[in-house]
C-alpha cells in the first residue's frame, strides 16, 4: 500500500518493503507588515500567506527491504540540485516542495533515519 510520494521517494508498506513517514509536521503562516503609528500602538497589515513548510522523519532499514545508500543518495541529490517535487501524503496533493535540509542519523550499518525539512515551491 502506497502511503505517499515525494518525487522519486515512494512511502509504502508492502510485503517487500516498508518505507514510511513519522512525526509529520505542517506549518502555515501569514506574512504581515508592521506600521508604526505616532502616539499609538503599531498596526499590522496582512500581505499574503507565507510558504508552507513540512517536516518529517523517514526510517530506513535493510531488514524492511530498503536500500539505505540508494535512498539517502536520492535524497541528497534532491537537496543539492534544489529539485521541486510534488508532495503527496495519504492521497492529498500538497503541491510542489523542495528539501531545505536533510539530517541523517545512522543507527547501524543496516538502519538509519533521515529528518527532512521541506518548503513549498510555488511555480
Handedness of CA 69, 72, 75, 76 (dihedral sign): negative
- Tell me if 16 sits within 8 A of 65, measured CB to CB: yes
Task: Give the pLDDT band (50/70/90) at residue 14.
Answer: confident
pTM: 0.85
Q: Rounded distance, CA 58 to CA 77, Å?
A: 16
Helix (H) or strand (E) holding 85: strand 85-89
Mean pLDDT of all residues in 76-105: 96
Distance CA 86, CA 13 (A): 20
Distances (CA, A) of 45 to 14, 31, 33, 49: 49, 9, 5, 12
Please give the domain boundaries of the chain with CATH numbers for all domains.
2-120 (2.40.30.200)
Amino acid at each position: 500500500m502506497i502511503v505517499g510520494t515525494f518525487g522519486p521517494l515512494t512511502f509504502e508498506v508492502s510485503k517487500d518493503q516498508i518505507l514510511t513517514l513519522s512525526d509529520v509536521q505542517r506549518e502555515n503562516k501569514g506574512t504581515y507588515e508592521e506600521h508604526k503609528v505616532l502616539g499609538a500602538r503599531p498596526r499590522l497589515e496582512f500581505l499574503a500567506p507565507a510558504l508552507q513548510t513540512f517536516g518529517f522523519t523517514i526510517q530506513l532499514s535493510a531488514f524492511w527491504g530498503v536500500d539505505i545508500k540508494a535512498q539517502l543518495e536520492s535524497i541528497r541529490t534532491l537537496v543539492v540540485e534544489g529539485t521541486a517535487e510534488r508532495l503527496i501524503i495519504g492521497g492529498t496533493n500538497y503541491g510542489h516542495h523542495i528539501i531545505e535540509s536533510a539530517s541523517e542519523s545512522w543507527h547501524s550499518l543496516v538502519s538509519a533515519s533521515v529528518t527532512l525539512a521541506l518548503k513549498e515551491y510555488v511555480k
